[in-house]
Amino acid sequence: MAVRVCAVVPVLNEEAEITRCIDSLLSQTMKIDVMVLDGGSTDKTLEILSKYGKKIILLDNPGKRVSNARNLALENLPKGTTHCFEIIGHSWVDEDHVETRVKDMLELESKLGKKVGAIGCRTEAGEYTGWVSSWIEGALASPLGSGGGQFKRFVGREKTKVPAFCLHNVKALKAVGGWDERFITSQDSDLSMRLLAAGWELWRSDVSRVYMHKRSSLDKWWKMSHRYGFWRTKVILKHPTRADPREFLPLIGLVLIFALHNWWWAPLAYFVALLLMGIVYDDNKVSNFSGIYGIPLCLIILHTAFTIGLFDGLTRSGKAPSDRT
């Protein structure tokens, strides 16, 4: 069966980046369908999208959330669609992105002798919008900030529990019932765990990239970090095997401070490591060497807010994020 891809793009108030996103999808060297699902934008997003006419499929997403949008897309895919490409309104791709990924996926499946549930790609930063965005990118590039998720700087092709910006097999998606709409964030992590439990393999490959803008303020960075910690708890409570020991290192370090007799070396080692990350991962062409202190600051915010979020996730239900719109 021939591969037919539909790019699924949930949007909400994306006027600043949506043109670049859609143009990059419509200029693909492999013909694809583009489905955009608007969650009630109040800026000029819909006005911009209307100019594309029949080049895109534009649907209203009454549920507003990403998980609602993707399930709605799953119900309305063009006939013959075999794969969904996940992307968001403030990201974009190179013109050969889909063609390269499909060829890579088919090569992998030929080697394995079976279909895979999904294959992810590398996530890269878009143009920096100031010092803070370069600090955040440096923090995420460092070993103390990347973890094993969507911002990991992996090389080659590998199995994973957490592929990013997936090219999903539609049969796999339908087999597990799509996305769990209770998850406002981390819906992809939950989906991946259910795909794995159903016997589908998940992979990621560095042959292609998705570019996206990082947050440009420390306030939004705090909110995002807290939100990721909050929803990580929700995912772990549902799927205990999703737990990654690295995500609990800040908490373990805090416990060590109180548990060890000579506790003073623990925070000292931590701050030395932070300073080293600032020196190694500072992009001085952008930050004018401010990353030497800015990257450690962003890492402290990430570790603190994420850890607080882990505990917060035990005590209350979630709400829509406020760090994007």
From 172, 191, 178, 168, select the one nearest 4 (Cα to Cα).
168
C-alpha–C-alpha distance, residues 229 and 227, integer Å = 5
CB 301 within 8 A of CB 146: no
User: Does residue 258 sit in helix, strand or coil?
Assistant: helix
User: Does residue 210 sit in helix, strand or coil?
Assistant: strand
Domain 5-132+148-217 class, CATH top level: alpha beta
C-alpha–C-alpha distance, residues 280 and 152, integer Å = 17
User: Does residue 209 sit in helix, strand or coil?
Assistant: strand
CB 221 within 8 A of CB 132: yes
**Separation of first and last alpha carbons in the chain:** 41
Side chain identity, residue 139: A
| pLDDT given for residue 319 in this prediction | 61
| pLDDT given for residue 318 in this prediction | 63
From 52, 61, 75, 62, select the one nearest 9 (Cα to Cα).
61
From 123, 207, 115, select the one nearest 164 (Cα to Cα).
123
Phi, psi of 265 (to 5 degrees): -70, -25
Q: What is the mean pLDDT of each run of 10 residues along the chain (325 residues)?
A: 94 95 98 97 97 97 95 97 96 97 97 96 78 85 73 85 94 96 87 95 95 83 88 83 74 68 75 89 72 90 89 75 49
pTM: 0.83
CB 123 within 8 A of CB 151: yes
| pLDDT given for residue 323 in this prediction | 45
Report the alpha-carbon angle 125-299-184, nearest 5. 65
CB 139 within 8 A of CB 298: yes
| pLDDT given for residue 321 in this prediction | 55
Spatial CB neighbours of 216, under 8 Å, sequence gap ≥ 6: 129, 130, 132, 133
Q: Are strands 33-38 and 118-125 parallel, antiparallel or unpaired?
A: unpaired
Domain segments of the chain as ranges: 5-132+148-217, 221-312
| pLDDT given for residue 324 in this prediction | 47
- DSSP per-residue codes, 298-313: HHHHHHHHHHHHHHHT
CA 76 from chain center: how many Å? 24
C-alpha–C-alpha distance, residues 125 and 127, integer Å = 7
